[in-house]
Each structure stands twice: as C-alpha cells, then as structure tokens.
Amino acid sequence: MATMRTFILGTAAGLMAASGAHAADLPIKAKAVEYVKICTPYGAGFFYIPGTDTCMKIGGYLRVDTTFNGGIQGTPAWSGDAGQHNRYFDYFSARARMLLSVDTRTQTEYGVVRTFGSGRFTFSTLGNNTFNPNSINGSLPVAGSQLLDTPGGGATTIQFLFIQFAGFTFGQSASAYASPWQGYPGNITDFLLGGENTDTGVNNIQYTAQFGNGVSASIGLDDPTVWDRTAVYNLSLPLNATFNTGNAYAGVHAPDVVGNIRIDQAWGLFQISAAAHEVSGSYNTLNALGAPAGAVGLPGAAPTAASELSGHPDTSWGGAAMAALQIKNIPTGAGDDIKMDASYAKGATKYVVSSASTSPSFAMFGSSSAPGAYQSIGFGATTDAVYLPVAAGGDGSLHLTEAFGVRGAFNHNWDPYWSSSLFGSYVGVRYDGAAKAFMCANYTTPGKAVSADYICNPDFNLSQLGVITRWTPVKNLTFSAEFMWVHLDQKFQGTAVLAASAPKPSARYEFSDQDTFHLQLRAQRNF
C-alpha cells in the first residue's frame, strides 16, 4: 500500500514539473496599454485621442441664475404680464443650466482642422416670468410656453456646431458681423440691446483671411430666419392697443451677406462690420383677426384663399453697419478695459434691437395723474418694415424701419478675487413720414376717443444702465450680482381709450414714458 501511494505521488509531482517546464517555455505577450497624452500646441486641457493624432478638449460650465422683478437670465419686465405687473407676473424667476462642449483639432497639410460643438441642459421657471393660463396651457399649448420645464423635465438646446478648415467655417457659429464680446461687453443679462448678438450661433458659411500684425477680414453668408429678422407689418391689418399686429414677413429668399475688417493688437481691438439683409412681405390680403388664446382659427396675418390673387409688395434690401472698439491696459488697474460698439440699420432692426432671444417689442404700464385715466402706458413696436397695400389706400411698397444703437462697458478688477463692470446702452427706432401716416391712420380710430392734446408718433428710444460685481473665491467659480435699470422713451402724447390685453380693462390710458429695473444673481462653475 505504501509502495502504491509513493508511486501515485511521484507520478503527480512529475506531471506538475513537466507542465511547469512547458509553460515556462511559452512566449508571454503583454497587453498593450495606451496612455492619454497631453496635447500642448492648442493650449491647456487638450489631450490626444488614443491611437490618433487628433487633440480633444472637453469643457463647459454649470450655472444657476435667479432674477427678481424680471424673467430668466435678466429679462427686463418690458412686455406681457411682466410689463403689466398684473397678478400673473412672477416676482422672481430662476434657471439652472449645464453646458458641455467638445473641441477637436488635427494638424494637416492645409493647417488645423477643427470641429466644435456644445449642448445645453436647462431647467427654468415655467413660463419664464408668468403663470398666465392664456400663455401656459397643458392641454392646448402655445408657442414659447416652456412646457418642458415641469418636474423631471427641462430642455436641451444647441449653442455651436461647426467645422473649420483652411480659413473656412461651416455650420452654426458666431456671425462674421458680430463683435467678439457679442451682447456682453461687461454684463450677464441676455438683454443688453444696442447691437447684434449671435452668441449661440447662426447657421452660416464664412471665410476669414489673416494678413499679419493682427489684421484680419471675414466674409460670410448667414441664414437670417432665426437671428436677423424682426417683423413686417401689413397695415391693412388692425394694430392692437400696444401698436402690434401679425407678422407679414415672406419666406427667406436670400442669405444675409456679412463681413468685417478687424485689428487685434496689444492696445486692444477695432472692428468695422457690414451686412446686407433682404426684406420681403408675404401678401396684400391676409387674415385680419387672429383667433383668441385657446381657440381654434387662423392667426393674424395668416394667408387666406384670396392672398395669392391679391399680389404682394416688391422685395427691398436693407442693411446694417457697426464699429466696435476695445481699449486694454487702461491706467485704472491690471486687466481693466473698455468695450463699446455703435450700430446703424435700415430694414435690419435685429442688428440693433438684438438679444439672446427674439427682438422684443415693448408694452409697459404704470401709474397716471391724468384726469380720467386708469393708468399710463408706453409701447414701442420693433419691425424691419411696414407697408399698406394699394387696395387699402397705400402705395404698396415696403417702408424700411431705421434703428441705431450704442452699448458698452467699463470693466475694473479690484483685486484677484473681486471685479465690477459699469455698462449701458441706448437704442432708437425711427419710421419715415409715410410709414408714420399709415400707422397712425390705422391706430387712431374713433373708438379710441383720443384727447385734445393727443399726438401719434411710433418712434421710440430705449435706455439701459447697469452695474455688476463678481466674486471669484477660487479659480473658475464666480458669484455675480447685477442690477439694471431700463427707461422707455415713447413719443405718443395725451390720452386715449384702449382695449388693452386682459386682465387690463378697456379704459382711458395716458401715454407716458415707462421705467423698470431688476436684480439678477448668478453662481457659475467653469470646467
């Protein structure tokens, strides 16, 4: 038995030894490990995508805003329920947003090929600054009601999506017309007017040539549908109490042609820009009265069966020009600067009355001491053009609206942690004599029972003045507080009986300048 046990153990030991010897003779191939390499040519944060010669950077921010006495991201209370300050107006509104961006660069024989894209995840106060059931209705939604901002909801939007190659840019990018600071010379509100703002990009094709010593020039074709159009009014349709009617713009037939010449040097920046913009009306005969909120029917200025037979106004071309200036190294402190731009437009009002959203028209209410007046009212209609068809007694041509604006900021650093900016803007909108006559004839009806001192003038000005202070306790984390005042200088005089939007009553109102202000607080972490 002992002999058998010795034989078995010896055999097992021999087999294990032989197996080990054979294993030791086999070649062992280690698994390749690809390490992420830092990519230095394009600045901090770039790394090589493993196995390629393409560099990538992933970044973004997380931002939280609260605005008091205004809408999200610093919208002034200058229209709608906010402009009325009625019971539907929210005293504050909030927005939380995260942006993620991906930037890739590859060196080629033609230079750097770049792609860039960024998306935003946003949750805002439902309705922006109003919970009026006429504008927020879950069973029959209307445009702009932000119905995704409900528990567990939110909205996803795109900011930039473009390819750059050999001086060309294709996709959604900032217009070649815009200044580098867009609508933000020193502010955080999205609604500092006075010049163009394409900070979230416009679909375009553009080319930039570098001439050395900081001198460059760009030319581009922009899709005007989203960013570069306001409204065209057919004045055979009735103007409402705040001087608005349905938008009678035709379809887009041509892109906006834009360009700039720019100088970037140690002292600062200077840029001149120009744009050509097509203005076109739809038809002479359109639906006159839009369906009320929540009802089914044609909106105002919608086509009818008689529209095509009625003809249309001839297309006109308008345009805009801008000069922008940045002055660096001013003696008030390290990193301080001044940014400003001045703009003029004819038939291209969005290049002046521009925000991060659509161009606003204004309708604001206040108190009044005029005898018999319920309240005061001030308004301003933002248009590219107006026309009155021949059949309605007009000349049938488009009368282009003129606009001009200036905006700017002085930016000061108190120390590495605290900074402040003083900013402001001034905007004017003007209508020619024929347009004024058409508009006032449409608006001044016997039912308004205007006062003896009544004067109709659709021109208006808008002023803005603000200050912001920022605290950056650690790198890439900033807390901001911004206060802005807005003054509407309207040109109507006297009083009139107006059928104002509900819940305002049909009553006698005094035409008067109006003011509003708001406070915006922000916390932002960049990464």
C-alpha distance from residue 281 to each of 167, 245, 309 (Å): 36, 14, 15
**Token reading at 61:** 């921010």
Calculate the CA dihedral of residues 148, 301, 196, 222 and round it to 10 degrees.
Answer: 90
Kindly state the average pLDDT of the residues 124-138: 76
Residue 16 has pLDDT above 60, yes or no: no
Label residues 439-467 b or e (16+ Cβ within 10 Å = b).
bbebbeeeebebbeeeebebbbbbbbebb
Q: What per-residue confidence (pLDDT) applies to 133?
A: 73
Exposed/middle/buried for residue 472 (C-beta within 10 Å: 0-12, 13-18, 19+): middle
Average pLDDT over residues 139-154: 61
Calculate what percentage of the chain has a pLDDT beyond 70. Answer: 90
> For 291, phi and psi rounded to 5 degrees?
-65, 140
Rounded mean pLDDT, 287-292: 77
CA dist., res. 75 & res. 146, Å (int): 15
SS3 label, residue 412: strand
Burial of 139 (0-12, 13-18, 19+ CB in 10 A): exposed
Q: Please compute the mean of the pLDDT values over residues 464-470 and round it to a whole number.
A: 98
DSSP state of 414: S
Residue 356 pLDDT greater than 90, yes or no: no
Question: Which amino acid appears at position 188 of this protein?
Answer: I
Report whether 214 contacts 223 (CB < 8 A): no
Q: Quick check: helix, strand or coil at residue 66?
A: strand
Residue 25 binned pLDDT confidence (cut-offs 50, 70, 90):
low
Strands 385-387 and 232-234: parallel
pLDDT class of 24 with cuts at 50, 70, 90: very low
pLDDT reading at 290 higher than 80: no
**pLDDT value of residue 23:** 44
Strands, E, within 282-401: which ranges?
Answer: 316-328, 337-346, 362-366, 375-380, 385-387, 399-400
Tell me the pLDDT tens digit for each residue of 194-232.
Answer: 999 999 999 999 999 999 999 999 999 999 998 899 999
CA atoms within 13 A on the CB side of 422: 2
Is 26 buried (19+), middle (13-18) or exposed (0-12) by CB count in 10 A? exposed
CA 168/CA 102 separation, integer angstroms: 19
Question: Is the pLDDT at 14 greater than 80, yes or no?
Answer: no
- Of 172-176, 188-192, 354-358, the range with the lowest mean pLDDT is 354-358
Mean pLDDT over the full length of the chain: 91
Reading the block at residue 492, the tokens are 């109507």
Predicted pLDDT at 31:
59
Least confident stretch, 4-13, 189-198, 372-381 = 4-13
CA torsion, points 243, 245, 247, 249, in degrees to nearest 10? Answer: -80
Q: Is the pLDDT of residue 140 over 90?
A: no
* Residue 384 main-chain phi, psi, to 5 deg: -90, -30
Q: Cβ of 389: how many Cβ atoms within 10 Å? A: 22
Q: Provide the residue type at 326 as one letter.
A: Q
Residue 495: predicted pLDDT: 98
pLDDT band at 147, cuts 50/70/90? low
Model confidence at 139: pLDDT above 70:
no
Given pLDDT bands bounded at 50, 70 and 90, which one contains residue 80? Answer: very high
* Residues 196-206 as b or e (16 or more Cβ within 10 Å = b): bbbbbbbbbbb
Q: What is the mean pLDDT of residues 382-407?
A: 97
Q: Is pLDDT above 80 for 88?
A: yes
Residue pair 205/250 in contact by the 8 Å Cβ criterion: no
Confidence of residue 393 (pLDDT cuts 50, 70, 90): very high
Reported confidence tier of residue 41, pLDDT bands at 50, 70, 90: very high
Alpha-carbon distance 234 to 387, whole Å?
A: 5
Neighbours of 106 (CB within 10 A): 16
Maximum Cα–Cα distance across the chain: 134
Tokens of 98: 């995260």
In terms of Cα–Cα distance, which of 495, 503, 488, 519 is closest to 78?
488
Looking at the predicted structure, is the pLDDT value of residue 19 above 80?
no
Residue 332 has pLDDT above 70, yes or no: yes
Q: Assess whether pLDDT exceeds 90 at residue 22.
A: no
Range with the lowest mean pLDDT among 77-86, 146-155, 380-389? 146-155
State mean pLDDT over 398-409.
98
CB proximity list for 71: less than 8 A, separation 6 or greater: 77, 82, 93, 128, 129
Q: Amino acid identity, residue 286?
A: L
